[in-house]
Structure 1
């Protein structure tokens, strides 16, 4: 950590000036982690709640900024950030103020069923928040509950869109045969259609999303799955300049495989879903040219492109949306979001992606106005402090520091990647789990992804 701090510019930025008194000067580790009090509390919690995935028993009142406090008084620099879902740190003063608003209080105690009883100002809340930062070309939003839910409902939109196209448009009603067969889970009412995803992808844990998740067997074991296709995500070699030809060949092979599956797979795909960076699957990157090629292939074959920005969205890559790095000629058909947005759902632009009848894309809550209000405050604060550009600058600094450490300790680093992608930086470590444990003892809370990436 000392090496990465050396040489950092101390020139003030709006972000650093505002938050300079918001955080402690550094981590404080007083006990082992978990400490004695945490162990007692975890034992008690385990009587009523499964604690096997628990990392830190957190004291949220004492957590502040980028530092997370545990029940034993340890204060850790938190670069894990609640599985990449906290955009402005703990107990952010601006967000705490927003939480005291009358609109927020109303949303908490009078939670509406948004599909049937939305607040009278719901359009203004959406336009001033979620839609204010919508991806270019996408001017409508479906609000959902979580990342898995966002992707699941995007898949449903894709299926209904495809059948609506095949049927002849939104004004053509369902046949009696379709209605009857749907109740028996049979075609044509329950059509044989699929979503194409990539190997090592992660899109969620619901039934549809789990069929497109390919990162770890433990997520999928014992759960029935759909017969849906998977293509190989390009496995790039690093440094990029030294392997340019091989990487270009890998990306072409992946695109060729996608095109082959789109035209030959036994259950026809109506959409391709892709992460800009395969985060949970190991922080796997691909070039902008690859994603432009993917967009071309989907348009050529009349299938939708769903970009899963649940992990990458809201500024972490130095752009508000990671797919902005690709410079697409035409936007994705849908962009899903959650995590750092503190809200969830998907953006779209084509009115045909709305089902032809009400209640087809529906649930009781359909999101949460409280989360939409919180996201509005987050987006406003990010703009006020120019945090997306600040993230890009910090990413450049971090990457340069890691390059230096890579040269000095080659046995600890492999495949350093993420240059120019803000703080979405990764490397592989042959002793990853030991590395994570040692770093936590030094006061840094960090998670792993894939088989070997910290």
Structure 2
């Protein structure tokens, strides 16, 4: 599979001409570099003195325990992030997997300087009541143009967690409509809903999975089971959760064991659904990530997800696939669940991060029948959808799905080579497209290698209890992976 070169970034002269022609006082455009840096360059410890001072100042206002370093976003470019101390890092974490094309991409900057888009950026509408005139067209040209196969309904939201929250509402409403046989709610249901009691607020549940992460709002948090810091002290409904498969790698060497693991986990799902029904808290929705990201980059097989869909359909339960981190081409296909070859579309697919806007796709049976059931003040932001149009255009024009699939294969080759050389340190190299990971023996050694990589100009993430997580842009090239490989081997030698 061939790689495709990035288009040449516009020159500073061209950017200046755009600014003058549009008469925008955006002098920061002139600070953009012509191209991204050629390699990392580390001048200070990270965080450096300026970052440390800024962190101290910010800590007077809010807790900053998880701040890594402060960023100079004017100077960050492409696949490189620049901190306020002038350190240049190859960014393989990309704002928690949320940047599709890299920093300050010229096509995004062009959207920001186009006078046609001024009103969209100046006025954030309450989309549920006062959408802009062209909103249906914008959604058709963007979100619906990349909708999962067989789905033609979409609802925008602001972030991943609220996308999950409202998608769950869709599943609950559909379940209760079916129970009512399509009849309107009774007066008793209407009145008791305001009292947080049945039958208006029914005892329904959502089945999730151990090591899942779906967000930090209350409903999404009830589906999340990764870290105590996410959940401690917060009340939560007692909803069931099952075991997500733990696959052994290399997959081709452990096919029988992994098939048995799939069967065991699917049997547990069936048992949990039956138990919830007996307890008077039937499962209305099964929610899962196509790959558990925060939980440790844990993949499920096509066999597992096909079986999961079968179970949901047999029990009239909605299947929600949370593609907040895995969508928008991150896996080399636009949606990771495309790798599963499901017979039917999932009932609900949530998105955010690289999609720039939050939201969810849904099948017609999940569509609310009354206005205001899926609603908040903004229900998204049309300016983000306008930016998404530019992203989708670049993905198509530069065949970035093909590139991402190719660089993903190369990244795994690099990780496997390092794993073979340092088998006492690395294991379970795995990934699809821009989603890659490798395990260390424990959390301490994982954090140590991440710190060493950062000091050598490579920014990576962590997940699970001992996993190093890589999340690149869709514009990553093999040359970037070669730089990562050199710094990785240097860091491993020091372990």
**TM-score > 0.5 by shorter chain:** yes
Instruction: Give 1:7-406 correspondences, 5 Å limit.
Output: 13-15=4-6, 22-169=35-182, 172-265=183-276, 266=279, 267-350=281-364, 352-406=365-419
Structure 1 residue 38: Cα displacement: 1.4
- Contact conserved, 1:14 with 1:386, CA < 8 A, in 2? no
The whole-number CA distance in structure 2 between the counterparts of 1:446 and 1:259 is 37
Q: Say if 1:18 and 1:329 are closer, same or farther in 2 by CA, change over 3 A.
A: farther
The whole-number CA distance in structure 1 between the counterparts of 2:34 and 2:270 is 53
- Contact conserved, 1:336 with 1:347, CA < 8 A, in 2? yes
- Contact conserved, 1:432 with 1:453, CA < 8 A, in 2? yes
Structure 1 residue 242: Cα displacement: 2.4
SS in structure 2 opposite 1:189? coil
Q: Say if 1:197 and 1:422 are closer, same or farther in 2 by CA, change over 3 A.
A: same
Q: Which runs of 5+ in 2 are unaligned?
A: 11-32, 469-495
- Contact conserved, 1:147 with 1:337, CA < 8 A, in 2? yes
- Contact conserved, 1:279 with 1:449, CA < 8 A, in 2? yes
The whole-number CA distance in structure 2 between the counterparts of 1:356 and 1:396 is 45
The whole-number CA distance in structure 2 between the counterparts of 1:29 and 1:154 is 44
1:28-55 per-residue CA deviation (whole Å, 9 max, x = no partner) reads 1000011111111221122123211101
**TM-score (ref. length: structure 2):** 0.87
The whole-number CA distance in structure 1 between the counterparts of 2:373 and 2:7 is 47
The whole-number CA distance in structure 2 between the counterparts of 1:32 and 1:168 is 65
Q: Say which is worse superposed, 64-73 or 404-413, in terms of deviation.
A: 404-413
- Contact conserved, 2:415 with 2:438, CA < 8 A, in 1? no
User: What is the root-mean-square deviation in Å for CA atoms of aligned residues?
Assistant: 1.5
The whole-number CA distance in structure 2 between the counterparts of 1:150 and 1:12 is 34
Structure 1 residue 411: Cα displacement: 1.4
Q: Which 4+ residue blocks in structure 1 deviate beyond 3 angstroms?
A: 16-21
Structure 1 residue 425: Cα displacement: 1.7
SS in structure 2 opposite 1:77? strand
**TM-score (ref. length: structure 1):** 0.94
1:126-146 per-residue CA deviation (whole Å, 9 max, x = no partner) reads 011111111111111011110
The whole-number CA distance in structure 1 between the counterparts of 2:207 and 2:7 is 43
The whole-number CA distance in structure 1 between the counterparts of 2:36 and 2:68 is 22
Structure 1 residue 250: Cα displacement: 0.8
The whole-number CA distance in structure 2 between the counterparts of 1:12 and 1:414 is 27
Structure 1 residue 264: Cα displacement: 2.2
SS in structure 1 opposite 2:467? coil
Q: 1:3 maps to which residue?
A: none
The whole-number CA distance in structure 2 between the counterparts of 1:398 and 1:275 is 22
Q: 1:408 maps to which residue?
A: 421
Aligned length in residues:
440
Q: Which runs of 5+ in 1 are unaligned?
A: 1-8
SS in structure 1 opposite 2:148? coil
- Contact conserved, 2:3 with 2:402, CA < 8 A, in 1? no
- Contact conserved, 1:15 with 1:387, CA < 8 A, in 2? no
